[in-house]
Amino acid sequence: MTGSAPAFPTRRTFVFVHGAWHGGWCYSRVRERLETQGHRAFTPTLTGLGDRSHLLESRPDLSTHIQDIVNLALWEDLHEIDLVAHSYGSWVASGALEIIHPRVRSVTFIDCHLPEDGQRLADFGRPEAAAALQEARRSGAAGRPAPSAAEFGVVAARDRRWVDSKTNPHPIGPSFEPIRLTGARDLVPIKNYVRAPSYRSDRFDRVREQLIADPDWNVRDVPGGHDVMIDEPDLITQLLLELTVRRTP
């Protein structure tokens, strides 16, 4: 018998980690597309954000957010996970992998810095962002206000209005907690990095250049702004399905 096998023959399990100021809502378009194709897609919201913004005053830290993702995997009994993290979500996903990496078959980082052991988010970012973060800490605020959707490079005007209506202050605690990593991220069988170069970031460009030279990583550039899952949901959906297929020698 001859004939080609389906491109994606099995049902996949995706877990998405959003970035700062956002919530699981930012992946809704990608989630819908994956579910329409028969896959499972979990889009949790980190403590203090989105539909969990009422918990901002509990002052969550990085460990809280890491536990949000770990608990999802444990309580939902998830295995063979395709983990996807955007922007700040790379810190959360990297920390979560220290615990759940045996359950993860692939990880895809989108437009982000990849933290190393002992680093703090507060030590990275643009000077104006660092100044705003320090001011929020001095004033005792639980969170720092969100930039506008235009600053994220969201392309369509109606999407900018939508994003601006959904973002809320990001807890400041995660920015000052050093991340603890032992190399679990490197143990994931399939590793991908996706860059949206129209969003200017020297840090993200340096990560891209570093990983291009690493044969263990797949690196792709995509159009759209920083919130590429909002700008290009069809492209991101298809790209995730392609990048998370195990390569054969």
Listed in sequence order, the residues at least 6 apart from 35 whose beta carbon sits closer than 8 Å to its beta carbon are 41
Q: How far is CA 3 from the centre of its chain?
A: 37
pLDDT at 112 over 60: yes
**What value does the mean pLDDT take over residues 194-198?**
97
Residues annotated as catalytic are: 87
pLDDT at 238 over 90: yes
What are the angstrom distances between the C-alpha of 143 and each of 48, 80, 99, 170, 172? 9, 34, 27, 5, 5
pLDDT at 18 over 70: yes
Q: At what angle do helices 233-243 and 28-36 cross, to 10 degrees?
A: 60
Nearest to 159 by CA among 235, 222, 227: 227
* Whole-number pLDDT of residue 134: 84
* Whole-number pLDDT of residue 107: 98
Prediction pTM value: 0.94
* Whole-number pLDDT of residue 245: 86
* Whole-number pLDDT of residue 1: 35
* Whole-number pLDDT of residue 126: 74
Strand partners, 17: 85
Listed in sequence order, the residues at least 6 apart from 56 whose beta carbon sits closer than 8 Å to its beta carbon are 48, 49, 142, 143, 168, 169, 171
CATH H superfamily, domain 13-243:
Alpha/Beta hydrolase fold, catalytic domain (3.40.50.1820)
Residues 64-103: tens digit of each pLDDT = 999 999 999 999 999 999 999 999 999 999 999 999 999 9
pLDDT at 132 over 50: yes
% the chain with pLDDT above 70? 95
SS3 content of the chain, % helix, strand, coil (to 5): 45, 15, 40
